[in-house]
């Protein structure tokens, strides 16, 4: 179950007291000590971005069969990576400004405390799996660009053209209409195709033994400057797992998230006793506090999107965004969309 209802209970109990003082003992948090001995989830739970309904369903099914949490999460997001109709992830993702699809992904495995990531990976449909191979088979955390591709090819990943006709058409529209003084003649605008996409899929899971993992994968900001890497492959920004506490991740404007290490921060807020939804909201407030004025409207509302998703070791989960939106979760029984908590009623 989402933590949103029990959150009220918590806020009532916590009023007038520091959150850590209320929940510290429950979390086994001593003064200056890391959180340990949290009561583990008794069910398999997965929480993901709104495009991850199939991912959480798959991850939940696999965890029920005893599959490892990281493998389950990656099998979930792979559905989206391989889907040519998802323009924000893997195959079919929108390309950079030169028409080249560059993919980012990272993952963390709670029980083994290992992490892996790839950035600006070209020609491989499933960067989440390559990130897992970095985690499994190297003493490194992140490989990028040509090195990441050669690494993937050495394990038998197939190099393919990731630019689908739909993505190419969208890119051509963008290139034609990007400016009035360039050498490209304008073509009729198609609002849907010329939009600047920032899709991504993040999935965080916990199994009935309290083992946690997280993964985030994306084609990044569409029409980006070649080589631009967002938050998704950054451990602690795009996703983060602490097997003693919980896991969290994000979708949205990576540049805003990187500056606050948002996934790590969300897990740290949970370590101090916050429920996942409150932790995600608190991270968003930090993002606003660190945002440049050019990215805020007159009322201080961000002009960009960013959403955090989180699950704790007990299996409580939640998400928060600047404005209303939905996220996906498997609560141990069913996969469904839920309303995320939010800070502002409307977009600026
Ligand atoms: N959050 C995805 C990106 O900024 O690339």
Write the pLDDT tens digit of every residue in 202-216. 999 999 999 999 999
Dihedral class, residue 128 (left if φ above 0, else alpha if ψ from -120 to 50, else beta)? alpha
d(CA 66, CA 74): 15
Query: Looking at ligand 1, which atom is closest to the CA of residue 104?
Result: 5
Place 33 in a pLDDT band, splitting at 50, 70 and 90: very low
Residue from 103, 120, 221, 235 whose mutation best tests the ligand 1 pocket (most atoms within 8 A of CB): 221
With H, G, I as helix, E, B as strand and everything else as coil, classify residue 100.
coil
* Domains, the chain: 43-342 (3.60.20.30)
Percent of the chain having pLDDT more than 70? Answer: 85
Q: 127 in ligand 1 pocket by Cβ < 6 Å? A: no
What's the pTM value of the predicted model, to 2 decimals? 0.86
Ligand 1 probe mutation, 252, 256, 258, 306, most atoms within 8 A of CB: 252
Select from 121, 218, 233 the residue to mutate for testing ligand 1; criterion: most ligand atoms less than 8 Å from CB: 218
Pairing of strands 142-144, 201-206: unpaired
Residue 30 is predicted with a pLDDT of 33
Residue 252: CB within 6 Å of ligand 1? yes
Atom of ligand 1 nearest to the CA of 253: 4
For residue 306, report the distance from its CA to the centre of ligand 1, in Å: 9
Token pair 């440049």: residue: 292
pLDDT band at 17 (very low <50, low <70, confident <90, very high): very low
Within the chain, how many helices (H) and strands (E) appear? 11, 13
Question: Is the confidence at residue 307, as pLDDT, over 90?
Answer: yes
Higher model confidence: residue 201 or residue 19?
201
State the Rg of the chain over Cα: 20
- For ligand 1, the distance from its centroid to the CA atom of residue 307, given in whole angstroms, is 11
Task: Determine the pLDDT at residue 41.
Answer: 75
Residue with tokens 């009561």: 39
End-to-end CA distance of the chain: 31
Distance 231 CA to ligand 1 centre (A): 5
Cα 9 to Cα 338: distance, rounded to the nearest angstrom: 20
Instruction: Write out the H or E segment, with its range, that includes residue 336.
Output: strand 335-339
Q: Average pLDDT of 41-51? A: 94
**Each residue's pLDDT tens digit, 220-232:** 988 999 999 999 9
pLDDT at 192: 45
Q: What is the mean pLDDT of residues 152-178?
A: 90
In the predicted model, what is the mean pLDDT of the chain?
87
Residue 220 makes CB contacts below 8 A (sequence gap 6+) with: 93, 96, 102, 103, 104, 198, 200, 228, 229, 230, 232, 254
- Inter-residue contact 30 to 304 (CB < 8 Å): no
């Amino acid at each position: 179950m989402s933590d949103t209802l029990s959150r009220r209970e918590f806020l009532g109990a916590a009023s007038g007291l520091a959150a850590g003082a209320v929940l510290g003992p429950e979390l086994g948090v001593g003064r200056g000590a890391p959180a340990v001995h949290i009561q583990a989830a008794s069910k398999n739970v997965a929480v993901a971005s709104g495009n991850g309904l199939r991912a959480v369903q798959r991850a939940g099914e696999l965890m029920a069969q005893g599959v490892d949490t990281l493998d389950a999460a990656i099998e979930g997001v792979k559905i989206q990576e391989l889907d040519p109709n998802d323009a924000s992830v893997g195959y079919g993702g929108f390309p950079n400004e030169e028409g080249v699809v560059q993919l980012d992904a990272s993952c963390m495995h709670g029980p083994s405390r290992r992490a892996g990531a790839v950035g600006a990976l070209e020609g491989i449909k499933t960067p989440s799996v390559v990130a897992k191979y970095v985690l499994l088979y190297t003493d490194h955390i992140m490989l990028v660009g040509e090195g990441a591709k050669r690494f993937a090819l050495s394990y038998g990943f197939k190099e393919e053209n990731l630019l689908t006709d739909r993505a190419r058409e969208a890119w051509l529209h963008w290139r034609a209409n990007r400016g009035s003084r360039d050498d490209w003649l304008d073509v009729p605008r198609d609002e849907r195709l010329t939009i600047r996409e920032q899709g991504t899929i993040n999935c965080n899971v916990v199994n009935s033994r309290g083992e946690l993992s997280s993964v985030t994968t994306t084609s990044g900001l569409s029409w980006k400057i070649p080589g631009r890497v967002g938050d998704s492959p950054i451990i602690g920004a795009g996703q983060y797992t602490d097997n003693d506490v919980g896991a969290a991740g994000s979708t949205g404007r990576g540049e805003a998230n990187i500056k606050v290490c948002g996934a790590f921060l969300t897990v740290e807020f949970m370590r101090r006793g916050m429920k996942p939804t409150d932790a995600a909201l608190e991270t968003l407030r930090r993002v606003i506090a660190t945002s440049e004025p050019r990215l805020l409207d007159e009322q201080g509302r961000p002009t960009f999107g960013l959403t955090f998703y989180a699950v704790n070791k007990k299996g409580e989960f939640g998400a928060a965004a600047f404005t209303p939106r939905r996220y996906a979760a498997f609560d141990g029984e069913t996969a469904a969309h839920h309303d995320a908590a939010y800070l502002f009623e409307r977009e600026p």
